[in-house]
Structure 1
């Protein structure tokens, strides 16, 4: 985490050094092709990604455990506003993802932009790419911490479910999150040694299957309760103001719900990194747009079904986690929570890999002759001669990163509120502002035209939404701080 902070302090220098490492001439690339036969036009190892692996990466990133909070979100907004908000923000994300996919290659040279920040630098230049990098990587680190907490909560839910099954649902079953967070950290230490996101296809496919599975279980439980006639009270406007809900709390809840739905539909912070895994033929932007459509339709369908069925079943008092509204059958609820854990273990890596890349690229260009930084040590394990390589810097830096993320999760177990704030601040620039500005620069859209005004109106609406969600997150963080006891949380 210290290295990460120092890296941001020298963002401009890091950009130049990474660009030097990536700027292999076409002559050099051709020489590599002759000698190796397995590299792309930028001299890197041949990319093997397809529309399906890219879709799996996106689904892994976009369909997080947040899908289970959508019933609560619709309960705050009601049927009309809740469903409309979900469809609107899914459409916005799909539109802006298409614009960003077209920015993968530079307009004249055709040079690849390996990261989101590199694309911003190519099209917008100046200091905007530094701001983009700061926002992007702080959000990714925040999401890693949030995933650690959420996975631990799901593991805790399984333990509590087993306790309720033995002692009855009214029993006092309280346990600490910390042992689960430590266990997750240990697993992530091993997974983090996967060299780069190009090697994560299998993990993303498994995680994507898990996300669809637990969302399906939650949806099935809600559907069963709703159609059985035992569903709770719902309304067109959601939770109603009354003795247990003030107008102020209703307003905060609505802003928070809108923010949660908007952020649940966003994944553009890692879109370029995912696109950089694709084969060069057919063109990457066309393949990525297909992957965007597949993943967005999949995610939106799951969101609609879970949110609507969950609200129909649990009503205006729907909990923040859909699965918390059901405790029978125990084995099915436990299975869903175990699927959440597996999914988040994979999603952790999808979010962490871009952070690993930027620090390791900087280190390799800063100390190119250091064996500690650049030398790969081949290792063979088992009778099947399983081969992989170990890099000492990668081993050390990634282990430190996971340890720090785990400690932060344990020290700030209400980090979901902080993550909500980070998400609120990051949603507008990463999902809307930068893609729209790069599109304007790419297409040379003139200021004052109807097209320009339309894009700026979309920009403004999303900015105001993010601002309202940020205020709501700050309000929730303020309330959480009043009950804060470091490292002593039990649930």
Structure 2
């Protein structure tokens, strides 16, 4: 559950301000925990049936065709968006590592580091399934906890910077408003992960005496305790130290100790390698199914190699074209928001049918309203941020 979105939380706080920032951070943690537990409950809500994929649950709740058309496009765009962000994050972290440990070396453009990071995925993408990247996943879990701890501990050790300011970053009213919108997406991106929860639960044995939800519920609670221990200190301490001068990635604001910051950036690289593959594997499955069932291609190694390599090239191209971490994470955070805040509540209302005006009914409606606002506003703010940054950026330089 702990993703690279944690590194953008101090920057989001700088655009939200202390009051709104803390409130939205806590609200996001509470709402996404609530919706995640609802999905765990709905996995086996129908006796004798397990909904192992997000769209399967959507089809049961909203209807075969409507559920498919509502859920799948949002799933796919969320997965592709996450891969693009991870591609950019991996390249930026590699560049930061190079610049940190070899400050006297010749400057190398970000484009080349993104290409280096992409080269790893040309190999890993040929692995057949999730189980094949178990070792990478185990290492990445440890890396995510480590770089989060380094981010807030190094910030705390460095102390408040001279002349720190906590006012909004933008100087104009319009800039402040749009940055606020984009920051909502950054918060939403940090709490993404609901897309794969049903597939994870599907691998847990289940029986009438011990349903899978009992084990999964414990796992979710532990995961969210860890999320709180990682996210809250990074967001609050990072903003407290740097104020509105904090970088879009908190590790880019830290310089010393050199060995520790360099190590933290490599931890990020290892983590996003796994994160990229987790989301990419789902896209690969969809693409290969499309070619095999709709276009009558035979399953083969050449097909897998071509389809997956083209996808890696596409995400690499997008990361190189729009290397704006804050704008990307805000924009794609808005795209991901419905799968995290909104859809689980809509499906709960459709399947569980709580009594009208009951606490459950009002709570789910409130979550839907909150998620809808986050989606619309963060997409507007994130897109505007990308456009503004693109004015001064020399493409493919």
Q: CA RMSD in A?
A: 2.5
Give 1:424's aligned residue. 334
Q: 1:181 aligned to 2:114?
A: yes
Give 1:252's aligned residue. 178
Give 1:170's aligned residue. none
Picking from 80, 86, 93, the partner of 2:19 is 80
Give 2:249's aligned residue. 321
Q: 1:120 aligned to 2:46?
A: no
SS at match of 2:299: helix
Picking from 300, 304, 312, the partner of 1:394 is 304
Give 1:477's aligned residue. 386
Q: CA separation of 1:254/1:367 partners in 2, compared to 1, >3 Å: closer, same or farther?
A: closer
SS at match of 1:113: coil
Q: 1:233: how far off?
A: 5.5
Deviations 1:183-236 (A, max 9, x none): 22221122112221234332211111111111111111111122xxx545667x
Asked if the contact 1:446/1:452 (under 8 Å) is kept, the reply is yes
Asked if the contact 2:101/2:259 (under 8 Å) is kept, the reply is no
Give 2:134's aligned residue. 201
Asked if the contact 1:123/1:442 (under 8 Å) is kept, the reply is yes
Give 1:292's aligned residue. 220
SS at match of 2:203: coil
Asked if the contact 1:198/1:277 (under 8 Å) is kept, the reply is no
Asked if the contact 2:10/2:236 (under 8 Å) is kept, the reply is yes
Q: 1:157: how far off?
A: 1.1
Deviations 1:241-265 (A, max 9, x none): 8xx7223322223232233123212
Q: CA separation of 1:472/1:444 partners in 2, compared to 1, >3 Å: closer, same or farther?
A: same
Q: CA separation of 1:308/1:412 partners in 2, compared to 1, >3 Å: closer, same or farther?
A: closer
Picking from 137, 147, 165, the partner of 2:86 is 147
> Which structure has the highest helix share of the two?
2
Deviations 1:80-139 (A, max 9, x none): 33222211101100000011122223614x233232111101221132322210111112
Asked if the contact 2:85/2:329 (under 8 Å) is kept, the reply is yes
- CA distance in 1 between counterparts of 2:382 and 2:171 reads 18
Q: CA separation of 1:447/1:191 partners in 2, compared to 1, >3 Å: closer, same or farther?
A: same
Question: Structure 1: any 5+ residue segments left out of the alignment?
Answer: 1-58, 168-172, 375-390
Asked if the contact 2:179/2:385 (under 8 Å) is kept, the reply is no
Deviations 1:408-436 (A, max 9, x none): 32333337634532321330x21122211
Q: 1:410 aligned to 2:320?
A: yes
Give 1:129's aligned residue. 68
* Structure 1 moving runs of 4+ over 6 Å: none
Picking from 295, 304, 313, the partner of 2:232 is 304
Picking from 276, 283, 307, the partner of 1:348 is 276
Asked if the contact 2:136/2:274 (under 8 Å) is kept, the reply is yes
Question: Structure 2: any 5+ residue segments left out of the alignment?
Answer: none
Q: CA separation of 1:162/1:486 partners in 2, compared to 1, >3 Å: closer, same or farther?
A: same
Q: 1:349: how far off?
A: 0.6
Give 2:5's aligned residue. 66
Q: 1:358: how far off?
A: 2.2
Asked if the contact 1:233/1:315 (under 8 Å) is kept, the reply is no
SS at match of 2:319: helix
Asked if the contact 1:146/1:416 (under 8 Å) is kept, the reply is no
* Greater Cα radius of gyration, structure 1 or 2: 1
SS at match of 2:171: coil
Asked if the contact 2:60/2:67 (under 8 Å) is kept, the reply is no
- CA distance in 2 between counterparts of 1:123 and 1:485 reads 47
Asked if the contact 1:232/1:312 (under 8 Å) is kept, the reply is no
- CA distance in 2 between counterparts of 1:338 and 1:143 reads 19
